[in-house]
Chain A
Amino acid sequence: MSTKPDKVGAVLVVGAGIAGIQASLDLAESGYYVYLVEKSPAIGGTMPMLDKTFPTNDCSMCILSPKLVECGRHLNVETITNSEVADIQGEPGNFKVTINKKARMVDPDKCTGCGSCAEECPVKVDDDFNQGLNKRKAIYKLYAQAYPNAYAIDTTRCLKIKKPKACGKCLEVCQANAIDHLMQDETLELQVGSVILCPGFEKYDVSQLWYYGYGKLPNVITSMEFERLLSASGPFGGHLQRPADGQEPKKIAWLQCVGSRNCRNEHGYCSSVCCMYAIKEAVIAKEHTKYPLDTAIFFMDMRTYGKDFEKYYDRARLENGVRFIRSRVFEVTDTFDDTGNCQIRYSNEDGTIVTEDFDLVVLSLGLEPPSGMVQLADKLGLELNKFNFCESPSLTGVGTSKPGIFVAGAFSGPRDIPETVMQASAAASDSAAVLADVRGTMTKAKEYPAEKDVAGEVIRTGVFICHCGINIGGVVNVPEVVAYAKTLPGVAFADEKLYACSQDTSAQIKEAIDQYGLNRVVVASCSPRTHEPMFQETLKEAGLNANLFEMTNIRDQCSWVHMQEPEKATAKAKDLVKMAIYKSALLEPIDGVTLDMNHDALVIGGGVAGITASLGLSKQGYKVYLVEKSAELGGIANQLRFGMRGEDLPSYISDLVAEVNADANIKVSTGVEITDVHGFVGNFETTLSSGDVIPHGVTIIATGAREYKPTEYLYGQNKNVMTLLELESLLANKDSKVTGAKNVVFVQCVGSRDAERPYCSRICCTKSVKQALKVKELNPNANVFVLYRDIRTYGFFEEMYREARNKGVIFVRYSADNKPVVEAGADSVKVTVTDHVLGIPIEINADIVGLAAAIVPDKDTNSKLSQFYKVPLNQEGFFLEAHMKLRPVDFGTDGVFMCGLAHGPKNLEENISQAKAAVGRACTVLAKQSISVEGKSAFVNERKCAGCGDCEAVCPAKAVQVDAIKKVAVVNEALCKGCGACASTCRCGAINVKGCTNQQLIAMIKAL
């Protein structure tokens, strides 16, 4: 056996924001025990503070909440709050970690989170979570849905801790005896095999920039304060008002790049997320007001470079009427008219200086590295960059300078939630790679209480109606709905809940099930699509079958959409609750099904993403089939010569190809395509054009993308006009065309951000800047022009943009309705562009015109795979993930994942990271011994079935067959998706769907 005795099958995850939570869940599901260490008293990080998330406008708390609960409940994730890592010693596979755990003064196991203590506590403290916009008490819970759902004492403010006899009111009211003011700080020592650092970020301290007036002018606030203003669980319950005087603002300005792209302040990088969150805040603010709200965003370059971001920007501008002002802001001052309003003095692009008054000014704060990490990094010898972000070695995605220690999220550079989540899964994958042989050695298995047999019992339904803060309760009269529910047949118990999804409510539901002998549970709250599994878990923990649960959506489909009609919304909520109760009476327990699974993986696409994914899976001990359509591996990266940070890509690629070819776990097939696919997660059967049939358990799609072949700017007609990929080889070969050039022009957004492809190709700005610098390096006397719409050198690439300007590269902005014109000349081409500063056309005789051509998906391949694996594409033909924010590499179809350019434009580093993320996610499936099917499948009443075979004919999953001898339909539960097409086709009602029977649905209809 190769198992080294000293390897530890556990991973330390530092920081419990969304990255820490995702990494922990991935690892725990993949067979590793996780210690999740969090500085604050609750997990969640920044996401719970945000109101909505771009580009889907999902409520941040709502999408996070199920993950919080899942992480909090997970048997193999040990959450250690109020704690910080003091030291990490050892080597990959075996680290000794020292943790300083601060005394919480409240035992989280005893505390029920009832809040009586906080009601009694006499000490008011600024509420940090709400950015100091209101007060909390010295004993507090970080936020309503916090996990652990337990209070904590602010030891710096508690009276009793200062003077033991001074207070103690909390002790008097705590029924659970959870409070102990004598609790001591502790030092914990843990053994782990790998470490993932995801301490997140801090927001920029804006008091350094006096000219924005923050702290001086009451109506200049930060973007994070604005998030809390918008939030329904924020200090003003989601009512949009100025925090200083409570007035409703009519005009709000957002100032971008506050503490970003500012080298005078050692913040020369772009914070990457501010453009999008400012747009989001403006759009959401407009939704909040009943009156027309004027919103203006003052910006330098609009950096909406992520997937679907550009469309969001377009919508904000064209549909929501958000004003975008390209400008430089000089200062914000008082209007000096006793209104408290602010005056913004700024310069337009053409240099004119203008002032405009606003009721409220929001500063879009940049992201800073967490200050606490500098000391730890120093101790560990962890390399940080000049801004004190973690320096990740080139093309590792999530590596650090210390082997065995990985990084995810904003600690290695500012990034948004999906990228953070992606990195978290990637770090999970990399951190598990060295631990493959000790997988499963430290994990525990979950045991539920024995399921109660409810057969034959009288129906006793418990109904829980959620206020969702004010999201529901602000419109629907919840107490009235509760009272109504109590009158309905079978209802044994009905109650209202502030947040039905919080940990304490879950405990209360379990208690009610016990106390009232409930055998059906109905929750009326938000969408079952997001929250049903969480409540079902609660039922299981209470010993009830998960399918004795019914949920109805009185928020997204009621209170939120009938805001002006509270009475009718209440009537509708009653109807919906009644329907759910009627259906619930007919619910029956459904047992899951367990099936064998294949533990091999199929990776489609042999580019860098596909190869990286294959190697990642192999390292974890899984067998991989890597198939590539073309004759050789490497994909589009074969056409690249330099990485974004100057890496030598040809040798990187050849090393990668050699590694994958040498890997005994990986079977590479080139020159083949997929011709047919059968089966489902754990049991796929994919047929190749070679005739080979590959049985596999999971699929990773990494089909890549290609460079758009322009039809504009004389491309293909004039030898001086070329795409960036074509220019790259000239640069690499130091071609005389480059070294002898007088004028080199780069044209941005060729085929991107237009009507046909309304997306940003993300990497072209950086690539053009990189190539412009290369031209300057090879030929310092050349004039280099970059014609752009917005320069989108996000993150640390901004440094490169600055370097280019310093070295004399000339950036000329053009607008979409006045594009540059390229005309053929004798030896050169004439490029005419209207400069926005001067306002007059400039003519350049260019020797080289480099077109930053769009990244376009391979629509044919993608649509074929889309049908084969039943996974969706977006409008542009890229694959569409299960959730834009929190499931960036997953599909709705189990066992199918994606990575790389097939998902959308991104640079090599990001593709590598995403490939590792796909591995991290795939391993959560492959680590399972067998496949468990939920069991909500079709079932046949053999007594009724005549065996006519119509169900067989209509089943899209090929899950039903008529038994030749018995002449009745038989369902393969593993294949059945539960769509119910069979049940709708069956004339006599012999086939039905568990959890959605004819009878149950008619009961709902009859309830009306």
Chain B
Amino acid sequence: MQAIAAQVKEAAKKLLEDKKVDLVVGFAEGSLPLRGTPFFARTPEEANQLTWNRGCENNLANFLRKREGKVAVVAKGCDVRSIVALTKENQIDRDNLYIIGVPCDGMVDRKKVGKLLGGKEVLEVVDQGDTIVLKGNGFAETAKLADLLHNSCIDCRYGNPVVYDELIGTLMPEKAEEDFAEIKAFEAKTTAERRAFMTEEFSKCIRCYACRNACPMCYCTECFVDCSQPEWIGKSAANVQDNILFQAVRVFHSAGRCADCGACERACPMGINLRLLTRKLVKDVKVLFNAEAGVSMDDKAAMATFAADDPEPFLVKE
């Protein structure tokens, strides 16, 4: 990790020194361990603050839309998928973007750490590869990395950036196809059960729209929720049906575009299981159209392309 962090620093410095780019978007150390914070380096000196660790979870594609000038980004697999998706949607000019690709085998979920430590504060983290040592006042706990990763990282099959101009670190072996087990389990429930679950889950929603803000694909100038002419849905968090509707439509809007980076779920202050919905669509798009968002610059947008052999299970055939 430290080696990668140093290489990132070097690469960024060089790009800025050579004036190849005006800006490098990456991560700096946050105020707490495992809290990488997005950082904008405009000079070689600022590039010194760049780093790489298990806390660089944010999707940096969010900061790349419609930027002036040449920009470089330190991007892990999910960032790159979003970048690809956004490029195809005219939000990023690939010609002006330099991707410093970093293969990523997962970021640490602080909620899992908190749970493991029973709420004790971590002051220092030592990355040992497969294990990780969490140190604090009077304790040092060693944990398996796999137990602490974000769920989205566990499910991720695209830790290797699919597109890059420069690669730091080494590419990882490919992972097996994921099975969407939790989605299948959800689908197996009765309508009533699903409704009960959704109602329960979305009674928590406070309509802070953090999910929307965290999502790299939610970039509408005016979200349909905010539209008042016409008013598509109610804006009060008190109405659970409207809360569900909001998320359902948001998820539909990201069908075929969502890279399953998990940013929405990480951003939710109420702990709503948002990936259940986003991944349902990820699965459907994969099953129905054999498409995955942001894995190739050539693929056409799954939901905006009609092919004569598209499955149309919604059509009742006699």
Contacts and interface: CB of A to CB of B under 8 A. Distances in A.
Instruction: Note whether A and B contact each other (Cβ less than 8 A).
Output: yes
A947 B224 contact: no
Contacts of B313: none
B301 A950 contact: yes
A1003 to B, nearest CB: 7
A661 interface: no
B223 interface: yes
A999 B304 contact: no
Contacts of A950: 89, 301, 303-304
A948 B221 contact: no
Contacts of A1003: 230
A874 interface: no
B220 A988 contact: yes
A100 interface: no
Contact of A989 (B66, B219, B222, B300): B222
A985 B224 CA distance: 12
Interface string A989-1005: 11000000011001100
Contacts of A962: 90
Given A950-B304, A1002-B230, A988 B90 contact: no
A987 B89 contact: no
Nearest to A987: B253
Interface residues of B, number: 23
B37 interface: no
Contact of A944 (B89, B91, B222, B305): B222
Nearest to A963: B90
Interface in B206-253: 219-224, 227, 229-232, 253
Nearest to A942: B221
B304 A988 contact: no
B221 A987 contact: no
A647 to B, nearest CB: 47
Nearest to B86: A948
B304 A946 contact: no
Contacts of A949: 88-90
B307 to A, nearest CB: 12
Interface string B240-275: 000000000000010000000000000000000000
Contacts of B301: 950, 953
Nearest to B304: A953
A643 to B, nearest CB: 45
A989 B224 contact: yes
A1004 to B, nearest CB: 11
B221 A990 contact: yes
A273 B253 CA distance: 57
Interface string B282-313: 00000000000000000011011110000000
Interface string A923-965: 0000000000000000000011111111001100000001000
Contact of B90 (A948, A985, A1002): A948
A946 B91 contact: yes
A288 interface: no
A946 B221 contact: yes
Given A953-B304, A1003-B230, A948 B224 contact: no
Contacts of B222: 944, 988-990
B90 A967 contact: yes
B144 to A, nearest CB: 41
Contacts of A1002: 230-232
Nearest to B232: A1002
Contact of B89 (A948, A989, A998, A999): A948
Contacts of A967: 66, 90
B264 to A, nearest CB: 16
Contacts of A998: 230
B229 A999 contact: yes
Nearest to B90: A947
A946 B230 contact: no
A944 B221 contact: yes
Contacts of A988: 220-224, 227
A1002 B91 CA distance: 30
Contacts of B232: 1002
A1002 B89 CA distance: 28
A967 to B, nearest CB: 6
Contacts of B303: 950
Contact of B230 (A943, A953, A987, A999): A999
A985 B253 CA distance: 9
A988 B224 CA distance: 5
Contact of B300 (A943, A946, A953, A985): A953
Contacts of B90: 947-949, 962, 967
B219 A946 contact: yes
Q: Which of B88, B223, B230 has its CB near the most chain A CB atoms (within 10 A)?
A: B230
Nearest to A1001: B230
Q: Which of B219, B221, B300 has its CB near the most chain A CB atoms (within 10 A)?
A: B221
A275 B62 CA distance: 73
Nearest to B219: A946
A943 B304 contact: no
Contacts of B230: 998-999, 1002-1003
A989 B232 CA distance: 11
A106 B227 CA distance: 60
Contacts of A954: 304, 306
Interface in B85-104: 88-91
Nearest to A989: B227
A987 B257 CA distance: 12
Nearest to B249: A987
B216 to A, nearest CB: 13
A986 to B, nearest CB: 9
A805 B66 CA distance: 86
A870 to B, nearest CB: 16
A1002 B229 CA distance: 9
A968 B297 CA distance: 21
Q: Which of A947, A948, A1002, A1003 has its CB near the most chain B CB atoms (within 10 A)?
A: A948
A578 B88 CA distance: 44
A988 B229 CA distance: 11
A943 B229 CA distance: 14
A990 B221 CA distance: 9
Contact of A943 (B221, B223, B231): B221
B211 to A, nearest CB: 15
Contacts of A943: 221
A949 B90 CA distance: 7
Contacts of B253: 987
B209 to A, nearest CB: 14
Interface string B117-144: 0000000000000000000000000000
Q: Which of A985, A987, A998 has its CB near the most chain B CB atoms (within 10 A)?
A: A987
Contacts of A948: 89-91
Nearest to B223: A988
A989 B222 CA distance: 8
A953 B89 CA distance: 11
B302 to A, nearest CB: 10
B248 to A, nearest CB: 13
Q: Which of B90, B91, B231 has its CB near the most chain A CB atoms (within 10 A)?
A: B90
A948 B90 CA distance: 6
Contacts of B91: 946-948
Given A953-B300, A967-B66, A946 B229 contact: no
A954 B90 CA distance: 16
A1000 to B, nearest CB: 9
Q: Which of A944, A946, A954, A1002 has its CB near the most chain B CB atoms (within 10 A)?
A: A946
Contact of A946 (B220, B224, B305, B306): B220
Contacts of B220: 944, 946, 987-988
A985 B306 CA distance: 13
23 contacts: A944-B221, A946-B89, A947-B89, A949-B89, A950-B301, A950-B304, A953-B300, A953-B304, A953-B305, A954-B304, A967-B66, A985-B304, A987-B224, A987-B253, A988-B222, A988-B223, A989-B222, A990-B221, A998-B230, A999-B229, A999-B230, A1002-B230, A1002-B232
Given A989-B227, A1002-B231, A1002-B232, 10 more contacts: A944-B222, A946-B91, A947-B91, A949-B90, A953-B304, A967-B66, A987-B253, A988-B223, A999-B230, A1003-B230
